[in-house]
């Protein structure tokens, strides 16, 4: 029987400079889409995929994240007193069972591969997931759940994959495709942030991974790559080149790049339009402002 994936790493050590000044005192992952922080979307997706152990790789200035997943007895008592059961149940989604969440510090920003490696002792010898909270993915079945289901058949290593315009490959890890089989793509290598002209394809890695502990062993070598950083892409590529199974999974769903302001705004609008309490007023406003836009042209 294949070992189930129950552990997930959330690399959340980044400074979030693109969102300064907000991120001067608030971790980027606490910025909210409508009324839920980015990290809540990532945690909910992980839970729906069967994850029960949550490992955060943090850095200085991220204590708001720890508080977010802690109980707040005073607030809970106040809400209970006022009979606000709906808000109490909303708060419940932020609570973690004792021991289900662990925080590891990445002392220096040395890249995504290094951040994942920092969690190696908590992963030990099991398959594990990695979720990048900047990549928010909406859809009927959460992206990681789709991947866990596919992984139950394939094993190996799997990354979420999505086509991007060729001129954008330099923002992504990109797959060197060996063979396609429906949503599953066998991969013979991966390149981090290649120039369009050097890119092996335009199928990009999106921030969801299911990985074997071998990838952590590859990261032990601490080899730096693109941008002088230790890249997760490179450590996975070593597996592919060694003939181990590495797959891209073309997920169903819409991905928002919440590491960029435009992506963040698009996600905010998309999630707000899904809400019964907000849809009508927001849609009316959007059609009003798009009308202005047309008049100005
Ligand atoms: C990271 C990964 C990259 C991946 C991307 C997806 O890059 O290194 O391979 O394609 O996430 O969002 P970053 O955006 O952190 O520079």
pLDDT for residue 92:
86
Helix axes 279-296, 261-273, angle to 10 degrees: 130
Model confidence at 115: pLDDT above 80: yes
The residue whose CA is least distant from atom 10 of ligand 1 is: 172
- Is-contact 44 139, C-beta < 8 A? no
Would you say residue 111 has pLDDT above 60?
Answer: yes
| Ligand 1 pocket mutation, candidates 171, 235, 263, criterion most atoms within 8 A of CB | 171
Identify whether 15 is part of a domain: yes
Is residue 112 included in any domain, yes or no? yes
Q: What is the pLDDT of residues 123-172, one digit of tens each?
A: 989 999 999 999 999 999 999 999 999 999 999 999 999 999 999 999 99
**Residue 130 to residue 213: CA distance in whole angstroms:** 12
Q: What is the chain's mean pLDDT, rounded?
A: 93
Protein residue whose Cα sits closest to atom 9 of ligand 1: 173
Q: Which of 137, 206, 197, 191 is nearest to 166 (CA)?
A: 197
**Residue 227: which domain range?**
7-259
Beta bridge partners of 172: none
Give residue 61's pLDDT band: very low, low, confident or very high (50, 70, 90): confident
Residue 283 forms part of a structural domain: no
Q: What is the pLDDT of residue 187?
A: 97
Token pair, residue 157, equals 């290593």
> Residues 77, 30, 33, CA angle at the centre, nearest 5°?
95
Residue 70's pLDDT is what? Answer: 87
Domain assignment present for residue 213? The answer is yes
Give the mutation target among 18, 42, 109, 172 for probing the ligand 1 site: most ligand atoms within 8 A of CB.
172
Per-residue pLDDT tens for 253-271?
Answer: 999 999 999 999 999 999 9
Q: Quick one: average pLDDT of 279-287?
A: 93
pLDDT of residue 95: 86
What CATH code is carried by the domain that includes residue 138?
3.90.550.10
The rounded Å distance from CA 212 to ligand 1 centre is: 19
Whole-angstrom CA distances from 210 to 5, 162, 246, 287, 292 are 8, 16, 10, 41, 46
For residue 55, being part of any structural domain is answered with yes
Residue 292, domain member (yes or no) = no
When pLDDT is cut at 50, 70 and 90, the band that residue 208 belongs to is: very high
Ligand 1 pocket (Cβ < 6 Å) reads: 112, 132, 135, 172-173, 192, 204-207, 233, 259
Q: How confident is the model at residue 16 (pLDDT cuts 50, 70, 90)?
A: confident
User: How many angstroms does the Cα of residue 232 sit away from the middle of ligand 1?
Assistant: 9
Instruction: Establish if 276 belongs to a structural domain.
Output: no
Residue-level pLDDT at 292: 62
27-47 confidence digits (pLDDT tens): 999 999 999 999 999 999 999
Percent of the chain with pLDDT over 70: 98
How remote is the CA of residue 41 from the centroid of ligand 1, in Å? 18
CA separation, residue 239 to residues 177, 187, 216, 252 (Å): 14, 10, 11, 26
> Is 296 among the domain residues?
no
Which pLDDT score, from 0 to 100, does residue 247 have?
98
Domains identified in the chain, total number: 1
What pTM, to 2 d.p., does this model score? 0.94
SS3 state at 181: strand
pLDDT of 295 = 56
Taking the CA of residue 207 as reference, the ligand 1 atom at the shortest distance is 6
pLDDT computed for residue 162 by the predictor? 97
Give the mean model confidence (pLDDT) for residues 195-220.
Answer: 96
pLDDT band at 294 (very low <50, low <70, confident <90, very high): low
CA of 258 to the centre of ligand 1 (A): 12
């Amino acid at each position: 029987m294949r070992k189930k994936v129950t552990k997930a790493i959330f690399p959340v050590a980044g400074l979030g400079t693109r969102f300064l000044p907000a991120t001067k005192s608030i971790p980027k992952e606490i910025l909210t889409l409508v009324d839920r922080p980015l990290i809540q979307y990532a945690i909910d997706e992980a839970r729906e995929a069967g994850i029960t152990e949550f490992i955060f790789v943090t850095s200085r200035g991220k204590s708001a994240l720890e508080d977010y997943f802690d109980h707040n007895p005073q607030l809970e008592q106040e809400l209970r007193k006022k009979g606000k059961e709906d808000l109490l149940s909303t708060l419940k989604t932020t609570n973690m069972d004792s021991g289900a969440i662990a925080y590891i510090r990445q002392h220096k920003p040395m890249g995504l591969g290094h951040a994942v490696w920092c969690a190696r002792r908590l992963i030990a010898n099991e398959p594990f997931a990695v979720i990048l909270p900047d990549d928010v993915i909406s859809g009927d079945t959460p992206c990681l759940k789709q991947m866990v289901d596919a992984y139950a058949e394939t094993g190996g290593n799997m990354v979420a994959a999505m086509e991007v315009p060729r001129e954008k490959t330099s923002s992504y890890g990109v797959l060197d495709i060996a063979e396609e089989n429906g949503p599953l793509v066998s991969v013979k290598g991966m390149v981090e942030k290649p120039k369009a002209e050097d890119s092996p394809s335009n199928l990009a890695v999106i921030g969801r991974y299911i990985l074997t502990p071998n990838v952590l062993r590859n990261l032990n070598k601490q080899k730096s790559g693109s941008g002088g950083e230790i890249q997760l892409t490179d450590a996975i590529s070593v597996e592919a080149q060694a003939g181990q199974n590495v797959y891209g999974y073309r997920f169903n769903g819409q991905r928002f790049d919440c590491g960029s302001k435009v992506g963040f705004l698009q996600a905010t609008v998309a999630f707000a339009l899904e809400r019964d309490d907000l849809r009508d007023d927001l849609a009316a406003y959007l059609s009003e402002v798009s009308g202005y836009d047309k008049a100005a042209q």
